[in-house]
Amino acid sequence: MKLRNKKTGEVFEFGYLQTDHVAPIVLTVYKDEQPIMRTYDSLSEMMEEWEDE
């Protein structure tokens, strides 16, 4: 699965979601095989930034 960042237009390989971490939601995506972790307070906040590719 791939995700597109709505702000930058970049496409990332989707990694995984966690809900038992620092914030209620942690999204991990991969760029050039390097993990990038983003934290969000809610699923709706995450969907403001990401969409399915």
- The stretch 1-18 carries a mean pLDDT of 91
Contact 18, 31 (CB under 8 A): no
- Structure confidence at residue 30 as a pLDDT band (50, 70, 90): very high
Specify the pTM: 0.76
- Structure confidence at residue 4 as a pLDDT band (50, 70, 90): very high
Rounded Cα distance, 3 and 52, in Å: 5
The overall average pLDDT reported for the chain is 89
